[in-house]
Structure 1
Amino acid sequence: MLYFEDLTPGRVFETASHTLSEEEIIAFASQFDPQPFHTDPQAAKSSFFDGLAASGWHTSSLTMRLITASELKNVANGLIGMGIRDMRWPRPTRPGDTLRAKIEVTGQKPSSSQPGFGVVQLRWTTLNQHNEIAMQLETAIWVARRTTTQP
């Protein structure tokens, strides 16, 4: 298990990768972000994206899936998010792109009101096969502290 004390600033976790297909992009967008540049390859050609692009929410959801299959799946009480800051998608994710994520611990603070827990700040960076940033965000998670036994 990973506890608050294990998630020290500077520690980096990496995930496996996943290659997105056109079918996955269209299926996700059809259900959750039904805009033509996400669902219709022909219409997408004349859009801002100049071709089919995955929804940013798809990129974010896929990143979460990759993280929950990484070593971070072992966080003692689960990945309990407290909020997201500065989420951005600097470039579109396309069919055939292979995404992976790097998660860096940027800070931590023990809880003053609940001594068995602490807040850990993380920066998620989702990279494509060219090491270009597809998504980045900052988040805080609520993490159990390691129980210490008194002599």
Structure 2
Amino acid sequence: MRYFEDLEVGAETDFGVYHVTREEVLEFARKYDPQPFHLSDEAAAKTHFGRIAASGWHTCAMTMAVLARYSVDHEQAGLGSPGIDDLRWLKPVYPGDTLSVHGKIVEKTPSRSKPDIGAVRTETTVTNQDGVPVMRYTSIVLIRRRPEGTPAD
């Protein structure tokens, strides 16, 4: 298990990739963001997108899927998140894109009121298959402190 004490400011991680499909873009848009440029080739062609683009919120959800799989696969002692800062959608995400999620720890702070947890701030950048950043934000993740007597990995 990786605890708060195992994480270092400046450490960088490649969390994984996500392959964007047209079917998923359309399904997400129908349910959660039914704007014409997410649903119709003709409507999207009349915008700066030029073709159907994924919702920014869908990009967030795909990113979360990558992060959650990584956390489970690497036994992180995560406790959820109180939020994110500075979310920016930098470029459109299109069906057929492959998103890569990269993080850099920029700060870690032990909780003053709950000695068994800490907060880690990570600058997260999502790029497409060409290495072009499409989204960036700073996450705040709560993570367990190492229980007394638990050896480091």
TM-score by length of 2: 0.91
Aligned to 2:125: 125
CA RMSD of aligned residues (A): 1.2
Where do 4+ consecutive residues of structure 1 move more than 3 Å? none
Identity fraction in percent = 37
Encode CA deviations 1:47-96: one digit per residue, 9 max, x unaligned: 231211100011110000011111x33221x3511111100111000111
SS at match of 1:148: coil
The CA distance in 2 between the partners of 1:81 and 1:120, in whole Å, is: 10
Q: Which runs of 5+ in 2 are unaligned?
A: none
Q: What letter corresponds to residue 7 of structure 2 in structure 1?
A: L
Aligned to 1:75: 76
Are residue 31 (structure 1) and residue 37 (structure 2) matched? no
SS at match of 2:92: coil
Aligned to 1:113: 113
- Report the number of matched residues: 147
TM-score by length of 1: 0.92
> Cα distance 1:65–1:79, how it changes in 2: closer, same or farther (>3 A)?
farther
> Cα distance 1:12–1:79, how it changes in 2: closer, same or farther (>3 A)?
farther
Whether contact under 8 Å (2:41, 2:51) holds in the other structure is yes
Q: Which runs of 5+ in 1 are unaligned?
A: none
Q: What letter corresponds to residue 62 of structure 1 in structure 2?
A: M
Q: What letter corresponds to residue 8 of structure 1 in structure 2?
A: E
The CA distance in 2 between the partners of 1:62 and 1:126, in whole Å, is: 10
